[in-house]
Amino acid sequence: MRATDAFLNVVLDSALDEHRPDARDAGLVTELVYGSTRRQLQLDEAIAAHADRKLDAIEDRVLAALRIGAYQRFYLRVPPHAAVAATVDAVKEVGLHRATGFVNALLRKLGDTPPAGHSHPAWLAERWARHFGPERAAAMIEADNLTPPVVARVNTTRTTRDEVLASLPGAKATTVSPLGVVLPPGQPEELLGFSEGLWQVQDEAAQLVGLYAAVPKGARVLDACAAPGGKSCHLAAEHDVVALDVHANKLDKIRREAARLGLKVDVRQGDASKLPESLGEFDAVLLDAPCSGLGTLRRHPELRYRRKAEDIPRLASLQRAMLQSASERVKPGGLLVYAVCTTEPEEGADQIELFLRSHPDFTAEAPPSSGVPFPTWQAYLRTLPGPEGMDGFFAARLRRMY
């Protein structure tokens, strides 16, 4: 694959759709691509120590091959000769015959132990240590470097969690969400229940946002940043949902998911920072705002290298504009639910405290008792990457009083 700014999962899914390897090969390719991306800084350190040129002077595809070869040696326990041979063959297959000698020689020089390190940029590791303490920061970093499980939310309009668990050998219930199922290994689309619309892939932390919202049954709900549609479909099981997204090319995916699940969702294009009065007012508005995504680095490992510290205030400014716009579409007495898949206070609790200071007609409110042991911080829902096995999310539930 060539260098690109596209999300890793989009590029990989496209390549797998094009070449259609069998399930075993697809699983190996996925592990190599994601694993080498998660460990990229360590792999690059090892490669740089034995290369006769700087990394930025190495052709993109050759460097990618070296990372994958090194990853096999360090983390997959592939015999050295096999890792070297497979990588050299791959370089030949993409027409880079001139690089085979360089790749062969460099990979043979590598030992079997990777350099010490955590493959997170220093600014992020330091920020997390400052915000969460060294011990928790270390746990977050360790979790980001592990392969995450595939988790699904049960479609309660068609089945129950017990029925899904009974139908999928190897599946297990999530710890906190009463709707969650950790799926057994394999492509989700090929598992029993997918085509029947019995469940939808969604991380446990994202499921908790919908549960924490605790929107009263039958409410009219606006999902203002709806793609890829997980929360819209969750809400549509019990509510009348209008799903907006600014990206027209993402709307069909939401429609297809709703149709697969047998749910009714009114999908429209719209900009959450400029919601028109013609939409009317809603009993509840969910704003799952664009954010740094730093709570999802185990699923989107490339973000750790793309994000910069200066992105956080820029995104916080966009979130403020969206919060203002979303608040104007909430009925008096209604709910505004704000969510972000990030660990950063400026995009989470600090953002909400700033909003509440300038909006005296809103107040933070805990959800009614439901028996779900929500992980909270102050008055808000907060999950962090770590041994709990979830992505990092923040959510606030705000009541408009008048």
Q: Which residues are catalytic?
A: 341
CA–CA separation, 184 vs 193, rounded Å? 12
Q: Which tokens in the block code for residue 231?
A: 């929360």
CB burial readout 260-280, b (16+ within 10 A) else e: bbebebebeebebbebeeebe
Distance of CA 26 to the CA centre of its chain: 20
Peptide bond into 228 cis (omega under 30): yes
Rounded to the nearest 5 degrees, what angle is found at the Cα of 283, between the Cα atoms of 280 and 285? 80
Enclosing H/E stretch for 327: helix 311-327
The residues pairing with 381 across neighbouring beta strands, listed in sequence order, are 376, 395
Residue 137 identity (one-letter amino acid): A
Q: Which tokens in the block code for residue 44?
A: 């690059």
Residue with tokens 């797998």: 16
Supply φ then ψ for residue 2, to 5 degrees: -85, 160
**DSSP one-letter string for 9-57:** HHHHHHHHHHH---HHHHHHHHHHHHHHHHTHHHHHHHHHHH-SS-GGG
Asked whether 401 and 335 are in contact (CB, 8 A), the reply is: no
Asked whether 225 and 322 are in contact (CB, 8 A), the reply is: yes
Rounded to the nearest 5 degrees, what angle is found at the Cα of 358, between the Cα atoms of 247 and 336? 45
